[in-house]
Amino acid sequence: MQTISASQVIQSSAVEYLDNVGEPKYEVNGTVFTGLWYRPQNDGPALRATVYMKFASVYRKFEGEKASEFIKNVLYANSNGTWGLIKSKSIQFSVTKTELALHFEDLKFPSSVVSADLEYIANHWQDISFDLWEEVRGHHFFTFSMIYRALREGSSFARQMNDTGAASWYQNQADKVADQLELFWDTKAGYIITGRDLIYTYDKISGLDAGTILAFLHAGTYIPKDLRLGSLKTMKTFQALLNASSSIYPLNPKYQNYTAKPIGRYPEDAYNGTQRGYGNPWFLTTLAMSEYLYRLPSLAGSERFIYQNVGLSAKKVADEFLTIVCQSASINGSLHEEFDRNFGSGVGARDLTWSHVAFLSMNRARSGLPEF
């Protein structure tokens, strides 16, 4: 419930609403973060909506009427025909905060958490935003994948809430996002690139990025079929990232007998955990490669692709990625953000939540449990 309250803080404080619903963080005391940062990050509202819709489904299953009231009052209030209106009027950013606030009041903009996030991404999926690494502005495969899933699920959720107009609107926007997702396939390169229309590339010349692997995992089946985990396009992207990572780090000869290798965010990465210099492998990205493979055995064609290209089963290679992570984990099992490119010891942020969640997600896949 605390995260729901924090989401309400972000949404209700969005005086310049067109940007701030993509606000990436808040203060630990629950108040608005107003400092300089890389904003907006529009994967955030999409991920948030997806999580809360999943929560609503489980909550309703176990708590019945009590949950239904909470969902209607806090998570998803019926739009009453106001869906899609946030861009239907021209808004000048020269207006005062009071005038802007009155504008949104006139539109009866959603006050419920899921509705607000869905309305935001449905109207602003095409906007330029920062990527999941908080570095590059542009249009991103990961962001579009998260938005597509949220809108697809949002359409179904709205229909369950008898909000049929909103349901159709969200599905219509999802279809448009699907068309954009197809454009990330680079025929010449032979893999899915991480971004398009980039303002500044951070020297990402190759377009390869582990964020694309994360997109496959987090989007699941809520993505066009030819871009789903196990498809030929995603397999080629996986293979291209692995090939590009094979000779990057001085640590790699330690794993010369492995098909798996330590995996960083992207081949050109220069962030070393504290500043720009030489990039390191990351725990969460190496774990993502492992999870990807653990989810393949039920996909016969994908398993065959791995065997034909590396001569090993998908599970065998997945175990190798996991071994690399375990050998670089702290003695107590905690995971940093990264592990040193030379020696394998943990560097960067300590006990990074994202690293630990990636481990749990990988372990679910290894145990044969379904994706989120």
Give 65-83 pLDDT, tens digit per residue. 888 888 888 888 876 655 5
Q: How many CB atoms lie within 10 A of CB 62?
A: 8
Higher pLDDT, 209 or 3: 209
Q: What confidence category does residue 310 fall into, taking pLDDT thresholds of 50, 70 and 90?
A: low
Q: What is the pLDDT of residue 161?
A: 92
Q: What confidence category does residue 95 fall into, taking pLDDT thresholds of 50, 70 and 90?
A: very low
Predicted model pTM = 0.89
Q: Are 372 and 361 a contacting pair, CB within 8 Å?
A: yes
Q: How many CB atoms lie within 10 A of CB 301?
A: 11
Q: What are residue 32's phi and psi, to 5 degrees?
A: -70, 135
Structure-block tokens of residue 132: 């999941």
Q: What confidence category does residue 105 fall into, taking pLDDT thresholds of 50, 70 and 90?
A: very low
- Flag whether pLDDT at 20 surpasses 80: no
Q: What is the pLDDT of residue 26?
A: 79
| Rg of the chain in Å (alpha carbons) | 21
Q: What confidence category does residue 303 fall into, taking pLDDT thresholds of 50, 70 and 90?
A: low
Comparing C-alpha atoms, which of 23, 33, 27, 19 is closest to residue 2?
Answer: 27
Question: Which amino acid is residue 120, in one-letter code?
Answer: Y
- Flag whether pLDDT at 89 surpasses 80: no
- Flag whether pLDDT at 219 surpasses 90: yes
- Give tens-digit pLDDT for 125-156: 999 999 999 999 999 999 999 999 999 999 99
Q: What is the pLDDT of residue 245?
A: 95
- Flag whether pLDDT at 107 surpasses 90: no
Q: What is the pLDDT of residue 202?
A: 83
Q: In Å, how far are 92, 248, 250, 280, 318 from 262, measured between CA atoms?
A: 48, 9, 10, 9, 12
Structure-block tokens of residue 302: 């994908």
State the average pLDDT over residues 117-124. 92
Q: What is the pLDDT of residue 72?
A: 87
- Flag whether pLDDT at 91 surpasses 50: no
Q: In Å, how far are 111, 174, 264, 265, 344 from 147, measured between CA atoms?
A: 20, 8, 24, 21, 35
- Flag whether pLDDT at 99 surpasses 60: no
Q: What is the pLDDT of residue 233?
A: 95
Q: What is the percent of the chain with per-residue pLDDT over 90, rounded to a whole number?
A: 65
State the average pLDDT over residues 267-279. 93
Q: What is the percent of the chain with per-residue pLDDT over 70, rounded to a whole number?
A: 82
State the average pLDDT over residues 292-308. 72
Q: What confidence category does residue 85 fall into, taking pLDDT thresholds of 50, 70 and 90?
A: low
On average, the pLDDT of the chain sits at 86
Q: What is the pLDDT of residue 87?
A: 47
Q: What confidence category does residue 97 fall into, taking pLDDT thresholds of 50, 70 and 90?
A: very low
The C-alpha atoms of residue 143 and residue 125 are separated, in whole angstroms, by 9
- Give tens-digit pLDDT for 334-370: 999 999 999 999 999 999 999 999 999 999 999 999 8
The C-alpha atoms of residue 312 and residue 290 are separated, in whole angstroms, by 14
- Give tens-digit pLDDT for 184-216: 999 999 999 999 999 988 888 999 999 999 999
State the average pLDDT over residues 226-236. 93
Q: Are 110 and 120 a contacting pair, CB within 8 Å?
A: no
Higher pLDDT, 25 or 336: 336
Number of residues that make up the chain: 372
